Chains A and B, each alone.
Chain A
Amino acid sequence: MNTKTLKVVNQPVAKMDALGLACGEPAFTDDVDLKGLLCGKILWSPHAHAEIKKIDVSEALKVPGVKAVLTYKDLPRVPHTTAGQGYPEPSPYDTYTLDNKVRFVGDRVAAVAAETPEAAHEALAKIKVEYKQLPAVFDTFEAMKDGAPAIHDEPDSKNIPDAKHNIAAKFDFEVRNGDWFKEADFVLEHSWKIPYLQHCAIEPHVTIASFDHFGRLVLRTSTQVPFHVRRIVAQALKIPVKKIRVIKPRIGGGFGSKQEVLLEDITAALALKTGRPVKIEYTRRETFVSSRTRHPSTVRMKAGVKKDGTITDAEMEITLNTGAYGSHALTVMMCSGSHTLPFYKVKNNIRFIGRSVYTNMPVAGAYRGYGATQGFFAWESLMDMMAEKIGMDPVEFRRMNYIRLGEGSPVFKAMGEGREGVEQVITSTGLLEAIDKGLAEIKWTQKTVKYRNQSGPIRRGLGMACMMQGSGIPEVDMAAATLKMNEDGSFNLLIGAADLGTGSDTILAQIAAEVLGIKTDDIIVYSSDTDVTPFDVGAYASSTTFISGGAVKKAAEKVREMIIEVAAKILDEKKENLRLEGGKAVSKNGASCSLSEVANTSLYYYDQHQITASASHFAHTSPPPFQANFVEVEVDTETGKVKILDYVSCVDCGTAINPQLAEGQNDGAVLNGISHTLSEEMEFSSNGTPLNASFRRYKIFSAADTPPVRTFIIPSWEPNGPFGAKSVSEIGINGPLPAVANAIYNACGVRLCDAPFTPEKVLAAIKKKD
């Protein structure tokens, strides 16, 4: 199969909400103004670890305009996870909407709803809390020691493997074919670190809870997972699912943070208490401290290699800091191995040792890349180290070892997301072409020669890194779609899928339009409303194009059959002679009728019925997209400053349903990764208080800092995906850390293993080498 016959798919159709959003249409969560809307605010813990001995809200309630103050005494105590995953979640149930214990600076203590923000703030200041401070622990290795303070010593939390040693999740696995490192000519071992990083979505977390005229709770919320929100709010507040409707409006970026059910439960609780609509919107500081972060990690890797380039053994030990709660603790940790270890062929032995550890620090969660970012930083750095050791070109070494079409890995079966995985083989790959394209674009050969003998303080270098990700979670993720035909030959497409600004509404419409032989603007998309649209797990795990796209394609195919059935009667033709094309049902003999004629016939004239269909999709496989990243850097060896001169990212995402949007996804992911590599890091005082929780102090790269980033889509055809498509949204973020680290080494001979590569660290490494 190829893309040549496609008319709508694989075309750069304009994003359907782009113009409206650019013109300021009131489309986001916070763009509605409800009568009687109260302002909700949360009181945050000033302590890293403490018990609430006494809490007195009487003065707070006396503040004029204050309508409710909630503490742990007012709410049911239900252990749950905020992770926003499929049910049953693989994350420990260790979170309570409000608790009598606080576990990090920025944990919830109480919540207030008031007529004005000023009144809410005043009420927060008047809540009297008596804390009993407990010893706190901020380092994962300290936290695992005997006698460390147990952060989750409460008896009712569930699925914590070893609460006494603060282990929120653990997973070990080994493939054994003989003695470890027996065949290796060289054995290399090293550790890599990633700090606390925040998603920095421009729209902060925001939820508005109100009631419909049946008294049902309506949650308008900035989420990636509307259906999981409904289920988890029902669970946490002990109300039936049928009493809740969740609506996801337009979203100003999620990146994983909005997979968390963060504000919906407490906003709903305040609304239920007051009987009034309530809004809670995070400030930027709250977003940094009290939403979610990437799991800070230490990854130790040890691998054996033969002089001929065979990788004999590979061991990865990852220790993640999950912070005060274990959201995604198991799955991010497993994905750091399951997305990385199968990527290169390992001849004999493979071992993975994973721990996610509680500390009295902000809570980590899902973040674009989802463990693969941490894992590939180590694996792709180590690949360069091994290549150097055996005197092989790093590109050749990778070409020799990466997983080929038709090949599998024991890791796929052993490691899934939070449970055993699914056996699979590679059914599409464009990695070879991606590497060739990247080599040509970055001018690898010419520049390698040119930069061989440099002098002076400014040194240039080249680096590369290859990687893969997944497309949804096999045999876990499910999505559904409904299509309904209108008189004019247009269609309503109802999907549970959540467009976060990614453009998924547009590409799902393109898929339906392709099947139905119409233009994308004849599809009216309505997504992510639990009362109206069918189920979808939501936007995470790079699943939407592959899983939701599969559902849309199936629904459209069912509708196509129904249309042809009617058209066959109109045209007095056999069904098998008809096809849909250009807004018409066309017969092989040239006769045709318009889709509006089909619709009108079915709705008004003959054998009346609504042409409509629903379909669901889940997959037994998660075909990886592949990527080859190339970067040219300039290192100032006197100041330690690293400048990226050119970044080439060649991505095989199967068929790009919308090449322009796919490029945009990848450019954004790469820039996000570059910002991780050179700038971003959350800093804390010795008692766990965040020091740079603002854009003033936490520097993300702005437009002015953006180096040239060039994305090239390398087409392949994935037989399991809709029109050959795989995923594209996450993979790009994993490239910059290893690629830039490799390029810095190439430029000046120092290997950076501790992100971000600030001038201070780079200079210190250069001095140490000299």
Chain B
Amino acid sequence: MPKLIVKPSSLKELWKITPALPYKRKYLSGGTDLVNISNAGADDSDCWLDVSALTELWGIKETKSSIFIGAAVKISEIENSVTARRWLPALIAAIPHFASPSLRNMATLGGNAANASPCADGVCALISERASVWLELKGKKRKIPLTGLFLGPKKTALKKDELITGFEIPKWKHTAAYQKLGPRSYFGISKAAVAISADIKAGVAAKVSIALASVGPVIVYAAKTSAFLSGKSLVADVISEAAELVKTEVSPITDTRSEADYRREMCGVLVSRALQGLT
């Protein structure tokens, strides 16, 4: 853990003090990843910037066309939010699989995204919800699709000091499912997970978006499978075709958590189960 931890109370203050801080610095949000990495001796930063007190990063807001979730909102707060429950069914379905109840009281979506793990349950759900992410650097804001944030495992498109301030999810009528295979009930990183959001009218999926975790270098948006399903009726043949198709869109590896072939196979099983859950 670095000797210096700075906790600004506003974005304005953050941008003001940043230049004077040691060059090797990192943002600290819930700390559920960063503190672990530090304890494992894999963090060499000289300073952490604690963003949890930045009120600009707080709150879940609803506009006519979108839902905004601040980057520093705790996962447990989202879990209990009426707005999230109404508009973000994939994220709500993913939260019970997210770490553990105690960690959910600390962890944030901003941290989940900034950590850029290909296993991030929150990010996986948000991508299937078609979320964008708001970034800010020295007062300059930009918005990019959430899929565009990730370049590889633990690698993001964030510039030096650029901060994730929040997520914008378009309001669209959809149901969703989240399926995860992990090593045990809680405190388990997935072997494979899938989030599906779909707008279904009379058994026909008008719009489908599928995201998968732990089966590629970043969260995989299954564009081909999503497009294949759009406009189709979710009958058994279509589901099994989608399950085969999704296996061609992922690139899992063998690591301590699972084996590549098993993971690819599971993508098909999980997609087919998630789709069955929707109908």
Q: Give chain A's interface residues, CB within 8 Å of chain B.
A: 638-641, 679, 683, 691-692, 696-697, 699, 701-702, 704-705, 759-760, 763-764
Contact = CB atoms under 8 A, between A and B. Distances in A.
Nearest to A701: B184
Given A638-B269, A683-B256, A759 B185 contact: no
Interface of B: 36, 100, 181, 183-188, 191, 256, 258-259, 262, 265-266, 269, 273
Contacts of A691: 256
A702 B102 CA distance: 14
Contacts of A699: 183-184, 188
A702 B181 contact: no
B184 A705 contact: yes
B265 to A, nearest CB: 7
B265 A759 contact: no
A683 B256 CA distance: 8
Contacts of A760: 258-259, 262
A696 B262 contact: no
A679 B184 contact: yes
Contact of B256 (A639, A679, A692, A702): A692
A639 B184 CA distance: 14
Contacts of B184: 679, 699, 701-702, 704-705
A696 B181 contact: no
B200 to A, nearest CB: 23
Given A641-B181, A691-B256, A697-B256, A702 B186 contact: yes
A683 B266 CA distance: 23
Nearest to A675: B184
A705 B187 CA distance: 10
Nearest to A759: B181
A323 to B, nearest CB: 21
Contacts of A679: 183-184
Contacts of A692: 256
Contacts of A702: 184-187
Given A696-B36, A704-B100, A639 B266 contact: yes
A180 B265 CA distance: 46
Contacts of A683: 256
A696 B259 CA distance: 18
A691 B184 CA distance: 19
Contacts of A697: 256
Contacts of B188: 699
Contacts of B183: 679, 699
B186 A763 contact: no
A639 B181 contact: yes
Contacts of B187: 702
Nearest to A683: B256
Contacts of B262: 640, 759-760, 763-764
B100 A639 contact: no
Contacts of B100: 704
Contacts of B266: 639
5 contacts: A638-B273, A692-B256, A759-B181, A760-B258, A764-B262
B256 A763 contact: no
Nearest to A700: B184
Contacts of B273: 638
B181 to A, nearest CB: 6
A704 B187 CA distance: 10
B212 to A, nearest CB: 15
A137 to B, nearest CB: 23
Given A639-B181, A702-B186, 18 more contacts: A638-B273, A639-B266, A639-B269, A640-B262, A679-B183, A679-B184, A691-B256, A697-B256, A699-B183, A699-B188, A701-B184, A702-B185, A704-B185, A705-B184, A759-B181, A759-B191, A760-B258, A760-B262
B204 to A, nearest CB: 26
B269 A705 contact: no
A640 B187 CA distance: 20
Given A679-B184, A692-B256, A704-B186, A763 B265 contact: yes
